Structure 1
Amino acid sequence: MNATDFAAGQWTRATGTGVDPHEYRRVTEALTSVAHWGPSFLSTGHRYLQRAEDAGSSRSAGEYLLTAARWFHLATLAPYADAPRAAAEADRALSRALTVLEPGARRVTGEGFTGWLRGPADAPGTVVLVPGLDSAKEEFLDLASALLARGLAVFAMDGPGQGVLAATTTFVPDYEQVVGRIVDALGVARVGLVGLSLGGYFAARAAALEPRVAAVATVSGPFRLDWEELPPPVRDIMARRAGGADAAQEFVRHVDLTALAPHIAAPLLVVDGGQDVIPGVTNGEPLARLAPHGTYLSVPHGDHLLGNARPDWLPHLGDHFTHTLTGTPA
């Protein structure tokens, strides 16, 4: 795939992450090869770090640091030898930003996870944001903001094989174990889970097997994966994150929610985009149908992660967690 086509394919995902669409176009239009993607995005992130250093207020510095974190994360989306460095830069920039902007934010790290807990200490509910195949905690800052605005606490995390942990860990199918350790570390009685893309599988599986999950939502999450039908780029990413092609095939074999869906006792919202059609990936309608308390929201014009249709689903997701976790009308 050439750089123009790759940039077009990442357009709504990148703008959904929160980068300026005009700057995204300026950066990507200058690319002559996909190989230049990582270095160009890393360089853009570094420019924001310099702006943070030169800022006239701590607020401006923090906002520049958040933007730097977004660009550093996006640098990892194309094959890039220095991707671990970009992920580490994203993690550092986010940490610096939250230290400045939200002094009450708390870094929480344990076996197989790390992330930031944000929001009021007396929040009526806590939502864990679970990333997917090649996403990370820095990608869903707008989703976190929407939930924080409703008075909920949010834990945005990287799990095994994800984000800053991708350099030292690999995917695990039994994600409910990770979620259980997170609930213990956060010191709460129950949590909500939002799973994005492959994170939708992780979240749904955890909801079926971890009783402290009180609400769950998936966004563009797979119901089932078929290795033989997956496009080569998806297989390649899966192999990198799972620890090799054989390990990736074995991992994919576990991604099937047929038997687990009926055991999801928590209220479940499944969000899909009608334009999100990836060979080898079964969308979430069967998950919502088989779960005892499942609701299906399909946005016909939505693409993968529905970055092109946020008003059509993000308020619904916020309502889902507000009502379920707090017991009050959305």
Structure 2
Amino acid sequence: MVLLRPAADARTARVRALLLLSRPWFWPLGWAAAYAGSVLATHRWLPPAATLPRSLAALVVLGPLLWTAVLAVNDRYDLPSDRRNRRKASAPLVTGLLTAADLMRWHHGAALAALVLAATAVGPAFALGTAVVLLLGWLYSAPPVRLKTRPGLDVAANALAVGVLAPLAGWSLHRPVTGYPLLVALLGLFLVAALYLPTTVLDVAADRVAGDVTAAVRWGTRACRRAGLVLWSAATVVWLAVCHLDLLVRRESWLLQDLWAPVLVAGYAVAVRRPTIARLAGVCLLFAVPAADFLTAWITVGRT
């Protein structure tokens, strides 16, 4: 047994490295967005029993498979800046637990698995969206395109993938994608763009040294924080307009939405003064309050 321990320890280390690579703390981003899309499509908190197998398959695609595929490419080509970034000191490629070849094998394997599962267990619209997200992930990280170093396009790529395609994926489980509300798509674009911009501030020093011209490197950290606040405020205005103009749901009182709007804007402003992943996650939780209230009204209307 003693002779087998080093091999067992090595396997455990590689499994842990794979978990670090796939960032399980990011999986809920895709899940939450897709769940919102599912609720919008069905007017129900839980999906119909008939769609449960497809919904579970979608969770696997939107969670471990897509994030592993996208982040493997990201870590592979971010190595020069990650080596200079204290926040990325435990990244598997930086520590040597995984090699660049390992990351590309995991990328190809996870991408193939995501496409096959999406096509066979979910549906063609979901599979097409999965392919688009994988393409955006590659273009974002890999040269020669490397959208990460093209300020503006980097924001658009992330906002499209997480803000539009993820909730649309949940919607597509139940209804044709052509019926997806355009205002919800616009709201998703604003929200995710506002959340993405402060992440470029986190790594600005390492990116500058590595020669990666990100949004924060090109425009400066203050400009990125201000642009994020403008986008977040615009999303809040769109949200209130949807509520009060009865554009999607008619309800007599939107008191919680009105009271919570300044909390949303103030919370974002405080969080991005010194942004961290934890603080941005807190901003997402702040948004969950009015989102839950709106979806409650949406479900109530759907039952009448």
TM-score exceeds 0.5: no
Q: TM-score, normalised by structure 1?
A: 0.36
Larger RCO (alpha carbons 8 Å, 6+ apart): 2
Larger helix proportion, structure 1 or 2?
2
Larger strand proportion, structure 1 or 2?
1
Q: TM-score, normalised by structure 2?
A: 0.38
